[in-house]
Structure 1
Amino acid sequence: MKWFSFVVGVLCIIYAGLYFLGLLPVGFWQSTIDVVIGRELGAYYKIVPAESSEYQGIVALSLGVALIALSRWKIQRCKTDE
C-alpha cells in the first residue's frame, strides 16, 4: 500500500508540474476520454475554459504531497493481549 501511495503521489506531482508549465493539452481529461470512446472523425469542438480548471493544479499538487507523506508515515498496528 505504501508503494502504491508513493507512485500515485509522484504521478500527481508530475501532473501538477506539467499543468503549471502549460505542457498539458487543453481539456486533458476530455482528450483521455476521447481515446477510449472515440469521437466523430472530422468533428470540431469549441474549447471553452472551465471555472474549476484554475484549481486543478493545486489540487493535484496537494494530493501528491499528501500521498507521498502517507507513504513515508510509519504505521504500527496495536497488538493487544486479551
Structure 2
Amino acid sequence: MKRFSFGLGVLCIIYACLYFLGLLPVGFWQSIIDLVMGREPGEYYKVVPAESSDYQGVVALALGVVFIALSRWKIQRCKSDV
C-alpha cells in the first residue's frame, strides 16, 4: 500500500509540474478518452477554457503531497486480545 501511495503521489506531482509548465494539451482528459474511443475522421472541436481548470494544477499538487505523506506515515494496527 505504501508503494502504491508513493507512486500515485509522484504521478500527481509530475502531472502538476507539467500543468504549471504548460506542457499538457488543452483538453488533457479528452485526449486520454480519444486514445480509447477515437474520433470520427474530419471531426473538429472548438477549444474553450473550463471554469474548473484554474485549480486543476493546485489540486494535483496537493494530492501528490498528501499521497507521499501517507506513504511515509507509519501506521500500526492495534494488537488487542479480543
TM-score by length of 2: 0.97
Aligned length: 82
Q: Structure 1 residues 54-63 or 34-43, which shifts more?
A: 34-43
Which stretches of structure 1, 4 residues or more, deviate above 2 A after TM superposition? none
Q: Name stretches of at least 5 consecutive residues in structure 1 with no aligned partner.
A: none
Whole-angstrom CA distance in 2 between matches of 1:72 and 1:41: 48
Q: Name stretches of at least 5 consecutive residues in structure 2 with no aligned partner.
A: none
Q: Structure 1 residues 9-18 or 32-41, which shifts more?
A: 32-41
Whole-angstrom CA distance in 2 between matches of 1:5 and 1:66: 9
CA deviation string 1:15-55 (max 9, x = no partner): 00000000001110000001101111121110000000010
Tell me what 2:74 maps to: 74
Q: Secondary structure at the match of 1:3?
A: helix
TM-score by length of 1: 0.97
Percent sequence identity is 79
